[in-house]
Chains A and B, each alone.
Chain A
Amino acid sequence: MTTPLTPAPTPGAPLQGTDSLLLEPSGPGRAPWQRLLANEDFRRAVGCLAGFLVLAVMTGPSGSQGAPTSGFTGSLFNLRVFWFVGLAAVLWGAMTLRRRYSAAVKVWNDKALALPRRLLPDTRVRYGAYFVLLVFAVVYPMHISGFWQEVAVQQIGVYVLLAIGLNVVVGYAGLLDLGYVAFYAIGAYSAAFWTGAMPVHLPFHLNPFWTIPLAILAAMLAGVILGVPTLRLRGDYLAIVTLGFGEIISIVAQNLTSITGGPGGVLGIPHFSVHLLGVHYVWGLGNLPYYYLLLGFVVLILIFFHSLENSRVGRAWTAIREDEVAAQASGINVLKYKVMAFSIGASTAGFAGVMTASQVSYIEPADFTYQLSILILVLVIFGGMGSLPGAVVGAAVLQWFPQFLRLHPLFGFQQQDLYIYLGALLVVMMIFRPEGILPSKRRKREIGLAEHGVGSADAMTTSTAEVQ
């Protein structure tokens, strides 16, 4: 018979050696620093401070080879750091107050939101709100500086278009397209080709307006050609194929110098112009005319996509996104609807390509990188997948914000840092608001249910498991 080396723990007594910060009870036997570390408020304060100090370093001056640590010293040992400590204190205070008075906050919230909640389901109110927004979108840009007008066209307008196009592919049909920018490039290069700006050109050349249908057709055709063989694949495989396609297009544009102009790009793509029935108008170097042209098209496309979402086609897309096999067994031609979503998204990007090409009048392969595909995807995810208002607002906010940061004296934002911020933003979003800022009703339900253990809410397709 062997005697146990240690006595068996008495039931009810705390286990030895498993003391952890995560275990709640802070018994009298613990050192003061342990109690401090276990204090929720303290831990939050440390988190806030650390977060903002990282932000201070990220937005501060960069180090150089001679003085590699100057990035840190210049950011942290500088009066500027007090701003960030102050911001951290404000955030910590807000979080603490919110926690302490969470019940009261909820009551206020309900009171404040009661009216909008009652009014929003009313379609008249909703359309009224859309109208007010539209008026704002029409009037406001007249009163801003030329720089912000350029932002409104090149950073916001075009990207809203790209985001609502990708939203059809990713949000409605649940297809993960990582090479979306390829269709944008195809549209831009089509515009360059038909207007006679490319090294290879036809004996005639067209007004950029006429290239719109041709570019849309080219992008759509590319979507169908790529889609028919690959959309038989399931989620993850499709993402890889589209990733490859995006790379192929950009490398082709870079290397077929005699056709596409190579890395140098294409110069001198003409601006839009109208010469009809005695009316002559040229969209010149100003930004506002392009802005209104874009706005008009975006509104038309939004109306079209909205009606599509609520049609038979939209329901088929939802079913496919939820469960492809079940959709197939219910008599939905899965391949047809997937190709349809894919090519509608592609043609929207193609259209955006024409807009860019004609306004900037210069395109190069470096405009169509893989990172841009990711950026557009982030816009859609940030706004709320499958939600048109989400895609618009997501694109507008995320494209506006870096410009704001760039101009603001406190944040020495640099364009090459953009993806650091986007990455951080996405991480925070996925933790606190995975459905996006303006989620579609269904998406909200999907995520709500998944959190209660019903079904899954994968980013893209929900169900890819095959039956035997």
Chain B
Amino acid sequence: MTAMLRLGGVDVRYGAIPALRGVDIEVREGEIVALLGANGAGKTTTLRTISGLVRPAKGYVALDGKRIDQVSPHRIVALGIGHVPEGRRIFPRMTVLENLEIGAYRRRGDLRSDLQHIFGLFPILEQRREQNGGTLSGGEQQMLAIGRALMSRPQLLLLDEPSMGLAPLVVEAIFDIIERIRDEGTTILLVEQNAAQALQLADRGYVLENGSVVMADDAEALLGDERVRVAYLGEGAA
């Protein structure tokens, strides 16, 4: 399989503060890749760099072999990268339907089949379609954020902490749907604090520490790795 997305030697700085240092990441078609790490390790920055919201100071980001690191964010959406931002960031005073319509902003034409698809994945959103986004529960908002990103028909979906602040049952439901989205043909790059669950779902994983990739392996191998178990799965050293 060829790499769909490749980050090579990416440095990102916020002013003088380095956020990423020489990050190399590769996502192949049809994979779920998990990005793990502590707070401030650079996970969110990595996603923001991919979707063009921040520019790398060094290195490159390439989608299907073409560099996208100088392309503006709205064009990157059109190229097929959907971003579900951290904290969901739905439009609170737009209805569920309007939120989904904004997600398809780069595409013109009939949205009915897309809406049907989203409502198939998240039946609750169909019930709430005329409700304001801000009145939804946290889990429903996460579903709406994912649905909104899917409306652009992305080939690659970036998910930033979809489990944040949600009840365990809801997290499980969301993870099931992430798997289903992958099975329908969308590649997924997933940022998670919930390392155990993310690695059970993912094919491969990267561990970030202080802006650098310190480990990259198959998900199973990472799950079995002593250091990962201690640092991210909350198990005491044996």
Contacts and interface: CB of A to CB of B under 8 A. Distances in A.
Interface in A323-337: 323, 325-334
A420 B135 CA distance: 39
A467 interface: yes
B59 to A, nearest CB: 19
Nearest to B43: A468
Interface stretch (A267-275, A285-293, A314-322, A345-353): A314-322
B94 A329 contact: no
B102 A332 contact: yes
Given A330-B77, A332-B74, A454-B135, A322 B93 contact: yes
B73 interface: yes
A464 to B, nearest CB: 12
Given A326-B91, A449-B92, A468-B45, A331 B152 contact: yes
B92 to A, nearest CB: 4
Interface in A413-468: 442, 445-446, 449, 454-455, 462-463, 467-468
B135 A322 contact: no
A188 B227 CA distance: 71
A467 B77 contact: no
B162 interface: no
B204 interface: no
A435 to B, nearest CB: 12
A329 B132 contact: no
Most buried by B among A328, A446, A449, A454: A328
B77 A326 contact: no
Contacts of A468: 44-45, 48, 86
A327 B101 CA distance: 12
B92 A455 contact: yes
Contacts of A332: 74, 102, 105
A315 B98 contact: yes
B53 interface: yes
B83 interface: yes
Interface in B29-48: 44-45, 48
Contact of B134 (A318, A449, A467): A449
Interface string A399-418: 00000000000000000000
Most buried by A among B86, B92, B132: B92
Given A326-B91, A445-B93, A449-B93, A455 B134 contact: yes
B85 A325 contact: yes
Nearest to A318: B94
Contact of A467 (B48, B78, B101, B103): B48
B89 interface: yes
B89 A445 contact: no
B117 interface: no
Contact of B135 (A327, A328, A442, A449): A449
Contacts of B6: none
A143 to B, nearest CB: 43
A322 B132 CA distance: 12
B51 interface: yes
A385 to B, nearest CB: 13
A454 B136 CA distance: 10
Contacts of A333: 72, 74
B106 A326 contact: no
A418 B27 CA distance: 64
Contacts of B101: 315
Interface string B91-117: 111100010011101100000000000
Given A449-B132, A467-B86, A315 B102 contact: yes
Given A327-B102, A329-B53, A455-B134, A322 B91 contact: yes
A454 B90 CA distance: 12
A334 B72 CA distance: 10
Nearest to A453: B134
A330 B102 CA distance: 7
B21 interface: no
B9 interface: no
B87 interface: yes
Nearest to A337: B74
Contacts of A316: 102, 105
A454 B133 CA distance: 10
A334 B74 CA distance: 8
Nearest to A326: B89
A322 B73 contact: no
A314 to B, nearest CB: 11
B55 interface: no
A326 B85 contact: yes
B98 A454 contact: no
A330 B148 contact: yes
A319 B94 contact: yes
Given A449-B132, A468-B44, A322 B105 contact: no
A467 B51 CA distance: 13
Contacts of A446: 93
A467 B83 CA distance: 13
A312 B90 CA distance: 18
9 contacts: A319-B91, A319-B94, A323-B92, A327-B91, A328-B73, A329-B77, A329-B149, A330-B149, A454-B135
In order of increasing CB-CB distance, the 5 nearest A-B pairs are A331-B77, A455-B92, A331-B106, A326-B89, A454-B134
Given A331-B152, A454-B135, 18 more contacts: A315-B98, A319-B102, A319-B105, A322-B94, A323-B89, A323-B91, A326-B90, A327-B102, A330-B77, A333-B72, A449-B92, A449-B135, A454-B132, A455-B134, A462-B93, A463-B89, A467-B44, A468-B48
